[in-house]
Amino acid sequence: MQPIPRLTARIILVDAEDRLLLLQGYGSGERQHRLEWTTPGGRVGEGESLTQTASRELREETGLLVPPADLGPVVAVSSGTWRRDGTTVLGIDTFFYARFYARMGETTVKTSGRDEFEQSLIVAHHWWSIPELRCSNERVFPSGLAGLVAQLIGGNIPATPVALSSPW
């Protein structure tokens, strides 16, 4: 039986202080009982573009607004399979890069836009500096994110999306 594809759009969101926003929550499939940090994002809805999904998910999960037209390029992808309820799923993640230049206080994450499912999964958020992220013993997905974000902050935008290690 072929895996069921699950397309997601995610945002590597960096603020004016060069910090990366990550959300802490429970993983998917076999990782559903482990806490991990990941970028805002989620499943592509029917009729939605990847940019529309990334923008919508960011707004729902964090209350922060980056319109689809303001998203940067696709800078990374990751994919892998996992099992959920006896079904094999092929997760395909697309990562956009966006700089978030906000006035003081506007980087405050708001949880009121989360649906019940997101409320049950997402337990924390944090704006991470690159040194903090590199030194952390926390579980961060996908692996290789700190190195990629350091390159992006330095102005090195890849010509083609980088393949990050699958979190699955």
How do residues 80-92 score in pLDDT, each as one tens digit? 887 878 889 899 9
What mean pLDDT do residues 124-131 have?
A: 94
3-state helix, strand, coil in the chain (%, to 5): 25, 35, 40
Provide, rounded to the nearest whole percent, the portion of the chain with pLDDT above 70.
82
pTM: predicted TM-score of the whole model, two decimal places: 0.87
138, 126 contact by CB (below 8 A): no
pLDDT per residue as tens digits for the range 62-108 = 989 899 999 999 999 999 887 878 889 899 999 999 987 654 446 66
H-state helical runs in 2-144:
50-62, 116-121, 130-135
4-163 architecture in CATH?
A: Alpha-Beta Complex (3.90)
pLDDT at 118: 58
Asked if residue 112 has pLDDT above 80, the reply is no
CA distance linking residue 21 with residue 90, whole number of Å? 25
Task: Please tell me what DSSP assigns to residue 42.
Answer: E
Q: Residue 28 to residues 16, 35, 115: CA-CA distances in angstroms?
A: 31, 10, 17
Asked if residue 147 has pLDDT above 90, the reply is yes
pLDDT at 104: 45
Residue 141 backbone dihedrals phi, psi, to 5 degrees:
-125, 145
